[in-house]
């Protein structure tokens, strides 16, 4: 049962992260020049159109950091044990997807390629730690009330 719960937690955390990153990309309507909400089919076209616009990649880094943190928190809330470890797993999976993106589409600036390594893993870890600290405080408060 824990395996299903943990798998579901990781999938939900990834879905929340993907939603936040997609919303971050769509913040500026001039970056997205297609009607349908299908970023994966149009991603190469988007990257070519913003290739010389560093603000797009800065927003993408910021939304990726927020997404990794929130995805880590969501995952850590759902899993029963090893909350930080599963949050870090979200960061690793997101980093792997970002690395595939960089390898497949060569339109990313160098600063993005470097900073993406410093974004997903630490922010996902922070999301797991936030949840762990909240749960530990809750346990301490419950112990004090039981005495």
DSSP string, 122-141: HHHHHHHHHHHHHHHHHHHH
In this predicted structure, what is the pLDDT of residue 6? 93
In this predicted structure, what is the pLDDT of residue 47? 76
pLDDT tens for the 147 residues of the chain, in order = 789 999 999 999 999 999 998 888 878 766 666 555 555 667 777 777 777 778 888 888 999 999 999 999 999 999 988 999 999 999 999 999 999 989 988 888 889 889 998 999 899 999 999 999 999 999 899 888 887
Q: Which two tokens stand for residue 145?
A: 């009330």
16, 71 Cβ separation under 8 angstroms: yes
In this predicted structure, what is the pLDDT of residue 50? 75
Domain edges within the chain: 2-146
**Cα 104 to Cα 98: distance, rounded to the nearest angstrom:** 10
In this predicted structure, what is the pLDDT of residue 34? 59
- Whole-model pTM: value is 0.86
37 Cα distance to chain centroid: 19
């Amino acid at each position: 049962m824990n395996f299903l719960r943990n798998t579901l937690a990781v999938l939900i955390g990834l879905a929340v992260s993907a939603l936040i990153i997609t919303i971050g990309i769509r913040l500026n309507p001039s970056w997205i020049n297609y009607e349908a909400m299908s970023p994966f089919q149009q991603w190469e076209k988007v990257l070519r159109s913003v290739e010389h616009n560093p603000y797009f990649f800065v927003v993408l880094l910021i939304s990726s950091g927020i997404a990794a943190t929130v995805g880590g928190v969501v995952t850590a809330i759902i899993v029963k044990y090893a909350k930080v470890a599963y949050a870090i797993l979200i960061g690793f999976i997101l980093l792997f997807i970002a690395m595939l993106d960089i390898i497949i589409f060569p339109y990313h600036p160098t600063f993005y390629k470097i900073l993406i390594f410093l974004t997903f893993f630490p922010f996902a870890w922070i999301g797991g730690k936030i949840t762990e600290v909240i749960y530990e405080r809750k346990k301490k408060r419950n112990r004090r009330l039981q005495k």
